[in-house]
Structure 1
Amino acid sequence: MLDARLRPLIDPPLNRMGRVLADAGIGPNTVTLTGFAIGLCAAIAIAAGYSLIGLVLIALNRIADGLDGAVARATRKTDLGGYLDITLDFFFYGAIPLAFALQNPAANALAAAALLASFYANGSAFLAFAIMAEKNRLSTTEQGSKSLYYIGGLAEGTETIALFLLMALLPGWFPALAWGFAAICFVSAGARVLIGIKALQEP
């Protein structure tokens, strides 16, 4: 919901940093893979009980996630880059709730399962529509220049990042935060399905 509104604010500094990295010979896929490794380290830190370290690593992961696209825009966007970006993002989004479940199974496992189920529903609606949008030659730049069609929703990247950071800052609140965000994600998934149906209906 907030991604499109934040784009005008975050894209200019990211693009400047992306050009610096591109001029240094660092490719977008390198940034993507490095960011993913940092994200996995965040999950490991959280699972081990070091939530504040996890918070810092989550923030670094998300910075890298913005930078890989900026480097691609400064050099050349590729299908491989877009594929790695979205795939590893989903891996990361799944790793953080799992980490909290491992950190405290008795308190967190059920809430983590609900959150992961909502991510699955939201991601399925998002990716399935992206496939159909490509088939029907639909396009949008509302979320910036992307490798695939980004259908908007209540729960997008900005909200998920804020959630993960808050969970890492207040790990004892994980169950309440997870249940609340899972409800938002299920509503977002339903809305995306309805938007997809409307967009793809035969005239």
Structure 2
Amino acid sequence: MLDAAMRKLIDPALNRIGAGLARRGVSADSVTAVGLALGLLSAVVIALGAPFLALVPLLASRLADGLDGAIARATRKTDFGGYFDIVSDFVFYGAVPMAFVWADPAQNGAAGAFLLTSFYANGASFLGFAILAEKRKMETSARGVKSLYFTGGLLEGTETIGFFVALCLWPAWFAPLAWAFGALCFFTAASRVLLARKVFPPAD
């Protein structure tokens, strides 16, 4: 819901930094890899019981996630780069909830399983829509120039990062926050399915 507005705020700065990194020979794929490594490091720190400290690598990983696209725009976008970026994002989004479950399985297990299932459903609705949009040659730049067609929704990347930050600040609230966020993820997935039903109607 907030991604389009956030892109307008952060893209100018990211594009300047990304262009500077590109001039120094830094590749978009290498920054994607660094971002993934930082995201996984944050998950390890959470699993070890220090979620507040995990905020540093977590936020740094999201900065890298923004910079890889900026570098690609300053040089050359590739299909593999877009693919690697979305795979890395999904791995990161799954690793953080998993880490909270590992940190306290008895307290967080059920809520974590519900949350991860909602991520799975939401991701499937997003990627399925992107495949059909590509088939129809649809394009949008509302959420920045992407390799895939990004549909809007109640919960997007901005909300998810905010949610992860909240979990790191208040880890004792993981279960109720996960139940609530997971329910909203399912709502987002359902709304995207309904949108797909409208945009991609059955053939007569």
Quickly name the TM-score band, shorter chain normalised.
over 0.9
Instruction: Identify the residue that residue 73 of structure 1 maps to in structure 2.
Output: 73
Are 1:30 and 2:26 an aligned pair? no
Match of 1:59 in 2: 59
Identity of aligned residues (%): 55
Task: Show the counterpart of 2:173.
Answer: 173
User: Structure 1 unaligned runs (5+)?
Assistant: none
Distance 2:168 2:109 in 1: 16
User: Which digits, 9 at most, give the CA deviation of each residue in 1:102-129, with x for residues without a partner?
Assistant: 0000111111101001000100000011
Question: Aligned pair count?
Answer: 203
SS of 1:53's partner is coil
1:136 and 1:165 map into 2 onto residues whose CA distance is: 37
Aligned to 1:186: 186
Cα RMSD (Å): 0.9
Q: Once structures 1 and 2 are overlaid, which stretch shifts more, 26-35 or 136-145?
A: 136-145
Question: Paired residue for 2:6?
Answer: 6
Shift of 1:6: 1.1
Correspondence for 2:18: 18
For residue 161 of structure 1, report the CA deviation from its aligned partner: 0.2
Matches for 1:1-203 after TM superposition, within 5 Å = 1-201=1-201, 202=203
Q: C-alpha separation between the residues in 2 aligned to 1:56 and 1:115? A: 23
Partners of 2:18 and 2:87 lie apart in 1 by: 21
List alignment gaps of at least 5 residues for structure 2: none
* CA distance, structure 1, for counterparts of residue 148 and residue 2 of structure 2: 19
Taking structure 2 as the reference length, what is the TM-score of the superposition? Answer: 0.98
Look up the SS of the partner of 1:185 in the other structure.
helix
One-letter amino acid of the structure 2 residue matched with residue 11 of structure 1:
D
Q: Which region of structure 1 is more displaced relative to structure 2, 95-104 or 48-57?
A: 48-57
Q: CA separation in 2, counterparts of 1:40 and 1:85?
A: 14
1:22 and 1:137 map into 2 onto residues whose CA distance is 29
1:90 is paired with a residue whose SS is: helix
Distance 1:177 1:64 in 2: 26
Q: TM-score, normalised by structure 1?
A: 0.98
